[in-house]
Amino acid sequence: MKISQDAALVAHMTKWRRHLHAHPETAFEEVATSDYVRDLLESFGLQVHQGIAKTGVVATLTNGDGPAIALRADMDALDMVEHTNVPHRSTHDGKMHGCGHDGHMAMLLGAAKYLSENRHFNGTVHFVFQPAEENEGGGRVMVEEGLFDKFPAQAVFGMHNWPELPAGVMATKPGPLMAACDTIEIKITGQGCHGAMPHLGRDPVVIASELILALQTISSRIVNPQDAVVVSVTQINAGHTWNVIPEDVVLRGTVRSFRPEVRETLQSSIKRIVKGVCEAHGASFDLTYNAGYPATVNDPEQTEVCARAAIKTVGEDKVDLNPVSSMGAEDFAYMLEAKPGCYVWLGTGGTPGGCLLHNPGFDFNDGVLHIGTSYWINLVEEILGSDR
């Protein structure tokens, strides 16, 4: 199924997408967004439930007897100032849809509308509109609040626009597609003194510098070179003036990996290195290691199904079944821990300005709305089709 020639539906999706872009709301504050999505879903004749994970929306469409599946789109925007000049630019200062979640909602809404009018399937489809994907773990909250107890599903599926791929190319693969994401905060306490008399203190800045370099040996000398990992110190906070060695330094950073056992190695190695470097210099430390999103791991069987749907949508030559996994993280991972499923990327390269995700100049490429919606329709009919 390809809806590129359904001009009316494409026009509707473009209108919805641009309205959502102009009215961004951030994590767990998607109140107007939730109501807008609810109103549209109800107008399609679907049963709609609001309130799971505060602002989440789930709509259910059942046609005959058959399995149940869940399709998910995220709803939240980012705390960013938009730098585009498009007519539908953000009307909320300091907030923007810089990750394309407006497009994700529009594509899933388009699929819901089409499937409500063309029920070439037997079974149930749950359309899940999830809040707070950006850093706040709305997917985890939905699962914890009983998403799959209230809306039983045999499998769950997600999709994200991907500007790094050419427009219309789709990509997925079994196993880890996106990384686990943890954070670290390290406070090193030495002994402050005059900057001209460093021998009278214990300089935490020098200790922090040595520690930053030592942490890089985790990826180069501790973890198997075939296991991709990232340990990035992204903040160094110390001191208030040019001639005083401070009492302490605070380091913060991000830790990324794909496999659980590697994730455990990273955590234990960081603790050991921090302890060793600080004790060697007579400094004390306080390490906070926060486990964030798990890796996004696709189920092999469900990935095969998604690959077939993608090929039906864009053609075999435009489906990459062995993309390089991303070190970015995604809280759809929590849903994949609860149910088998698959996450795919939809290429949107060629957007105005050529911006990547989380860029203040980003705007979703409306030219692929029909592709994403066609994929959802093909996936539903692949799994639940009456001729299966």
Look at residues 21, 16, 28 and name the one whose alpha carbon lies nearest to residue 131.
28
Look at residues 293, 326, 376 and name the one whose alpha carbon lies nearest to residue 105.
376
Residues 72-79 have a mean pLDDT of: 98
Residues 6+ apart with CB under 8 A from 309: 375, 378, 379, 382
Residues 90-114 have a mean pLDDT of: 97
- Per-residue pLDDT reduced to its tens digit, 207-260: 999 999 999 999 999 999 999 999 999 999 999 999 999 999 999 999 999 999
Count of other CB atoms within 10 angstroms of residue 227: 14
Residue 86 in 3-state DSSP? Answer: coil
What band does 355 get if pLDDT is binned at 50, 70 and 90? confident
Residues 316-322 have a mean pLDDT of: 97
Residue 73 in 3-state DSSP? Answer: strand
- Per-residue pLDDT reduced to its tens digit, 1-18: 566 568 899 999 999 999
For residue 350, pLDDT over 90 is answered with no
Q: What is the pLDDT of residue 6?
A: 82
* Cα 169 from chain centroid (whole Å): 19
Homologous superfamily (CATH) of 7-176+296-384 is Zn peptidases (3.40.630.10)
Identity of the amino acid at 142: M
Domain assignments of the chain as residue spans, ordered by start: 7-176+296-384, 180-290
Region 180-290: CATH code: 3.30.70.360
Fold match flag (7-176+296-384 vs 180-290): no
What band does 386 get if pLDDT is binned at 50, 70 and 90? low
What band does 353 get if pLDDT is binned at 50, 70 and 90? low
Q: What is the maximal distance between C-alpha atoms in the chain?
A: 82
What band does 34 get if pLDDT is binned at 50, 70 and 90? very high
- Across the strands, what pairs with 252? 185, 235
Count of other CB atoms within 10 angstroms of residue 45: 12
Please give the share of the chain, as a percent, with pLDDT higher than 90: 95
Count of other CB atoms within 10 angstroms of residue 107: 29
Q: What is the pLDDT of residue 4?
A: 58
Model pTM score: 0.94
Residues 319-326 have a mean pLDDT of: 98
Sign of the Cα torsion 109, 110, 114, 115 reads negative
Residues 291-297 have a mean pLDDT of: 97
Q: Are 263 and 182 in contact (CB under 8 A)?
A: yes
Q: What is the pLDDT of residue 109?
A: 98
Counting Cβ atoms within 10 Å, is residue 77 exposed (0-12), middle (13-18) or buried (19+)?
Answer: buried
Write down the residue that tokens 């961004």 correspond to: 24
Identity of the amino acid at 351: T
Residues 6+ apart with CB under 8 A from 130: 53, 56, 72, 73, 74, 75, 138, 139, 142
